[in-house]
Amino acid sequence: MSILMRLGEPGQMEPSTMQRPAETNIDDAVAHEQRVYESSNPTSRRKFEAAKEVLPGGNTRGSLYFDPFPLFFQSARSSKVIDADGHEYSDFGNDLTAALFGHSNEAIVAALKAGLDNGMSYGGTHDHEVAFAREIRHRFRSIERVRFLTSGTEANLAAIRLAKAETGRGLVLGFFGGYHGNVLNWLEPKSEMNVDRADVRLARFNHIETVEQIVRDEGKDIAAILVEPIMGSAGGFVAETTFLSRLRSICDEIGALLIFDEVQTARFALGGYQSVIGVYPNLTTLGKFFGGGLNFGALGGAARHMDRLGPGHARMLSHGGTFSNNVLTMIAGHAALKKVFVQENVDRLNSRSNELRSALLRRANTRGVPLQLGSFGSLISTHFQAEMPRGPEDVKTPAIFRKLFQLFMINNGIFITRRGQFTVSMANTEDEFSALENAFDRFLDRYGELTDDYR
Ligand SMILES: Cc1ncc(COP(=O)(O)O)c(C=O)c1O
C-alpha cells in the first residue's frame, strides 16, 4: 500500500511490484529491493542514525533490528502499523507473536481505561491478580498455582531455579536453537549474555537419542528439561509428539521436572499447546500475548512445586518483583482471557491461518518453488527449501534469501520480521489475507527461481 500510494511522485524508485525481468542472481535481487526500501524510508533511516547517539546500535530489542535499518513505527491500530514515513502496513509481524489480539483491542483498552484512574501500581495485593490466576488455572490442566512475573525470560529463570531447588540438582537439559529469554538464548549457546552456561546441557531437538545420551551420562544431576514444544524463534520446528512424550517419561524416570516454555505456543489453544498434544509438563512458562499487550511473564504448575514460592512454606524460596502483579497488566491479561482469547476466536484464528497456509503452499507448488511452512496454526514460519526442517540444523534457506523475502514484503505493504514468519493476529482482515497472498504470488513470480541457486 505504502509504495503504491507513492507511485508517480517525483524521484521515486520503481516499486518492486512492477513486472520486469527477474534479477538473475540473489545479490542483484537484494540490491534492487534494498534500493526500493531505502528510497521509500528516508525518515526511518534518519531516525535510526540519530538513535545511535543514545541507544546502542540505535536499538533496544535485538530481535527488532534488520539491515539496512529497521522501520521506525509511529503508531499501531488493530491490524495496521504506521511508520515514520507515513506508510501503513498490514501487520503480520505482530510484535513477534505478542500482539495476538492486534493493536489496542477495544475490549482490553476499555478494561485498562477503567483501571487507569484507580492507580497504576498499588504496591499491594489485589483481586485482579487472583482473578487472572484463577482463569489460567481453570484453563491449564497442569497448572494449580501461578506466579506472575514481568517477562518470559524471568518466568524461565524462575522455573529453572524452582526445579533446581525442588530436585536438589544443578543441571538443566535444553536444546540447541531454543530461545527462552535474553539470558537463556540457546540459538547462541556460547553468548556471554547467557546465565548458568556451565550448568546447561544441550541436546538436538527431535533427536531423542541425543537426550538419552546426556541422561545416561549425567541423569542423576539433571533438575529439569526445558523445551519449547514448538521451537519458535529458531524457525517454527514442531516437536514430534513421541519426542515430547519421551521427554515426559525420561523426567519421570530420573526424577527431573519437565518445563514447557509456552511463551509462544500457548496461543494455539485455551489450555496451551500441551492440551493439543496431550503431553503435560510439571511447570509451564507463559509470556508475550498473555498479558493482553503489556509486559508479562508467568510460571505455573502443580501446587506441590509452586507453593515453595509462597510465604509460609517451611522451605520457602523467597522471590519478589516490583511489577510482577502490576495492576494494569493483571487487568489487561484478565480482560484478554475473558473477552478475546475465547474458544470461538481461537478456532477462527486457527482455521483462517490454516487456510492461509494452504493458499501459500498451493501458490508455491503451482510454480515449482520449494516451500515448507513450519510451526502451527497462526504462526507460519517460511522455509524456501524442499524438506521440512525438524530442527535448526535442517534449515537450508540462506539468510540473504530471508532478507530478500522480508524487504519485498515490506516494499509491498506487508510487515514481517527478518526471520520470515507470518504471525497472524485476531485482528488481521480478509483484505489483508488477500493482499498477502497477492504479494506472495508476485514474490514467487519474480524471485522464486532464485531458490535454484541453493537448493
Ligand atoms: C519461547 C520464548 N520463551 C521466552 C521468551 C522470552 O520472553 P521475554 O522476551 O518476554 O523475556 C521468548 C521471547 O521471544 C520466547 O519466544
- CATH classification at residue 375: 3.90.1150.10
CA of 448 to the centre of ligand 1 (A): 32
Confirm whether 113 is domain-assigned: no
Among the three residues 340, 355, 377, which one is the final residue of a domain in this structure? 340
Among the three residues 340, 362, 383, which one is the final residue of a domain in this structure? 340
Model confidence at 356: pLDDT above 50: yes
CA of 265 to the centre of ligand 1 (A): 11
Q: Which of 95, 160, 179 to mutate to test the pocket of ligand 1 (most atoms within 8 A of CB)?
A: 179
- Residue 163 and residue 85 share a domain: no
Question: How confident is residue 345, by pLDDT bands cut at 50, 70 and 90?
Answer: very high
Q: What is the overall mean pLDDT for the chain?
A: 95
- Residue 127 and residue 97 share a domain: no
> 313: domain CATH number?
3.40.640.10
Confirm whether 270 is domain-assigned: yes
- Residue 289 and residue 140 share a domain: yes
Give the number of the atom of ligand 1 that is nearest the alpha carbon of residue 178.
1
Give yes or no for residue 151 CB within 6 A of ligand 1. Answer: yes
Give yes or no for residue 174 CB within 6 A of ligand 1. Answer: no
CA of 367 to the centre of ligand 1 (A): 36
Model confidence at 11: pLDDT above 50: no
Give yes or no for residue 177 CB within 6 A of ligand 1. Answer: no
Model confidence at 19: pLDDT above 80: no
Model confidence at 439: pLDDT above 90: yes
Question: How confident is residue 454, by pLDDT bands cut at 50, 70 and 90?
Answer: confident
Model confidence at 239: pLDDT above 70: yes
Give the structural domain span for 152: 119-340
Give the number of the atom of ligand 1 that is nearest the alpha carbon of residue 265.
1
Give yes or no for residue 83 CB within 6 A of ligand 1. Answer: no
- Residue 148 and residue 28 share a domain: no
User: If you take atom 4 of ligand 1, which residue's CA is the nearest one?
Assistant: 180
Confirm whether 111 is domain-assigned: no
CA of 100 to the centre of ligand 1 (A): 14
- Residue 155 and residue 75 share a domain: no
* CA-wise closest residue to 292 among 118, 435, 123, 110: 110
pLDDT tens-digit readout, 91-107 = 999 999 999 999 999 99
Q: Any idea which residue has 547517539 for its cell?
A: 53
Give yes or no for residue 377 CB within 6 A of ligand 1. Answer: no
Confirm whether 110 is domain-assigned: no
Confirm whether 109 is domain-assigned: no
Model confidence at 21: pLDDT above 80: no
Q: Which of 61, 153, 226 to mutate to test the pocket of ligand 1 (most atoms within 8 A of CB)?
A: 153
Q: Which of 63, 264, 375 to mutate to test the pocket of ligand 1 (most atoms within 8 A of CB)?
A: 264
Confirm whether 297 is domain-assigned: yes
CA of 338 to the centre of ligand 1 (A): 23
- Residue 162 and residue 88 share a domain: no
User: If you take atom 7 of ligand 1, which residue's CA is the nearest one?
Assistant: 152
Confirm whether 429 is domain-assigned: yes
Higher pLDDT, 10 or 432: 432
- Residue 311 and residue 385 share a domain: no
Give yes or no for residue 33 CB within 6 A of ligand 1. Answer: no
- Residue 324 and residue 189 share a domain: yes
Question: How confident is residue 453, by pLDDT bands cut at 50, 70 and 90?
Answer: confident
Q: Any idea which residue has 523467597 for its cell?
A: 318
Give yes or no for residue 233 CB within 6 A of ligand 1. Answer: yes
pLDDT tens-digit readout, 294-344 = 999 999 999 999 999 999 999 999 999 999 999 999 999 999 999 999 999
Cell of 144: 494449580
pLDDT for residue 368 = 96
Span 282-302, mean pLDDT?
A: 98
CA of 420 to the centre of ligand 1 (A): 18
pLDDT tens-digit readout, 180-218 = 999 999 999 999 999 999 999 999 999 999 999 999 999
Rounded CA Rg of the chain:
23
Model confidence at 2: pLDDT above 50: no
Span 2-19, mean pLDDT?
A: 39
- Residue 172 and residue 247 share a domain: yes
Give yes or no for residue 222 CB within 6 A of ligand 1. Answer: no
- Domain count for the chain: 2
CA of 119 to the centre of ligand 1 (A): 28
pLDDT tens-digit readout, 143-156 = 999 999 999 999 99
Model confidence at 384: pLDDT above 90: yes
Give yes or no for residue 261 CB within 6 A of ligand 1. Answer: yes
- Residue 279 and residue 187 share a domain: yes
Give yes or no for residue 179 CB within 6 A of ligand 1. Answer: yes
CA of 123 to the centre of ligand 1 (A): 26
Confirm whether 183 is domain-assigned: yes
Give yes or no for residue 413 CB within 6 A of ligand 1. Answer: no
- Residue 153 and residue 51 share a domain: no
Among the three residues 317, 340, 363, which one is the final residue of a domain in this structure? 340
- Residue 282 and residue 181 share a domain: yes
Model confidence at 6: pLDDT above 50: no
Q: Any idea which residue has 556451565 for its cell?
A: 198
Question: How confident is residue 13, by pLDDT bands cut at 50, 70 and 90?
Answer: very low
